[in-house]
Amino acid sequence: MARLIVIEGIDGSGKGTQARRLVDRLRQSGIRTQLISFPRYEVTFFGRAVAAFLNGQFGSLDEVHPFLASLLFAGDRFESRPMLSAALADFDVVVLDRYVASNVAHQAAKLAGAERDALCRSINQVEYDLFGMPRPDLVLLLDLNVGAAQTLIAQKPARAYTDRAADIHEADAEYLTRVRELYLEMARREPNWSVIRCDSQDGLRSIEEISEEVWQLVSTSAIEPAR
């Protein structure tokens, strides 16, 4: 069974870039590696529904209850479970760009207090217990301040899943701040999480510097090529 490594972070934090760089470096080290990105917007039934939701077709953030929204993201992963299970059987390492924690952070951040905590538990129950998704061995949280993240989002090229410059999650700075806070709370609570700062007092850290920190964390987690 492969080791499952997840790259998480708010929108604009560089998850896709760092996931690809990690996969390239693992492969260069002789480690058979597969990269999977969630949501799978154009591949699964629920992935297409997620795209519609993020494009505002079901309503604004405050018009769609977060539990209902969470089921779309969970459904996309459930449809993808056979593919993920096959990858875990065939490779040494599987790297995921977003996973269950993304669903927890983005949906539960829309609530507060006991309601937020209850939704966190419900999403984990649906994804891990009911849908049987495998639990990650290592989660790397790319932490970036919201102002810098939204600047980077604005620089992204057009994306197939939305006709907007920023989807309904990305466009709301106050919401992204709550998402970031919940991510950091999970990182403090979970023993298999590590936080990688993507900025400093001097501004953004370089892609190469962040990539090197990602590699150091991954390479010390007892990953070896299959014999």
Output the domain CATH number for residue 199. Answer: 3.40.50.300
| Domain that residue 168 falls in | 3-219
Inform me whether the pLDDT recorded for 121 exceeds 90.
yes
Name, in order, each residue with C-beta under 8 angstroms of 64's C-beta and a sequence gap of 6 or more: 53, 58
Evaluate whether residue 226 is within a structural domain: no
- The structure tokens listed for 114 are 């006991």
Evaluate whether residue 182 is within a structural domain: yes
Binned at pLDDT 50, 70 and 90, residue 159 comes out as very low
Binned at pLDDT 50, 70 and 90, residue 175 comes out as confident
Please count the structural domains in the chain: 1
Calpha distance 206→190 (Å, rounded): 27
Is the separation of the CB atoms in 149 and 10 below 8 Å? yes
Q: How far is CA 151 from CA 155, 169, 192, in A?
A: 7, 14, 30
Return the percentage of the chain with pLDDT > 90, whole number.
74
Name, in order, each residue with C-beta under 8 angstroms of 184's C-beta and a sequence gap of 6 or more: 141, 143, 195
- The structure tokens listed for 80 are 């993808």
Evaluate whether residue 80 is within a structural domain: yes
Helix (H), strand (E), coil (C) string for the chain: CCEEEEEEECCCCCHHHHHHHHHHHHHHCCCCEEEEECCCCCCCHHHHHHHHHHCCCCCCHHHCCHHHHHHHHHHHHHHHHHHHHHHHHHCCEEEEECCHHHHHHHHHCCCCHHHHHHHHHHHHHHHHHHCCCCCCCEEEEEECCHHHHHHHHHCCCCCCCCCCCCCCCCCCHHHHHHHHHHHHHHHHHCCCEEEEECEECCEECCHHHHHHHHHHHHHCCCCCCCC
Q: What is the mean pLDDT of residues 195-220?
A: 92
| Residue carrying the six token digits 């309601």 | 115
Evaluate whether residue 108 is within a structural domain: yes
**Between residues 171 and 136, the one the model is more confident about:** 136
Evaluate whether residue 227 is within a structural domain: no
Evaluate whether residue 100 is within a structural domain: yes
Q: Out of 37-41, 59-63, 127-131, 186-190, which region has the weakest mean confidence (pLDDT)?
A: 59-63
Q: What is the mean pLDDT of residues 186-200?
A: 94
Taking CA 15 as the corner, what is the angle to CA 14 and CA 16, rounded to the nearest 5 degrees? 95
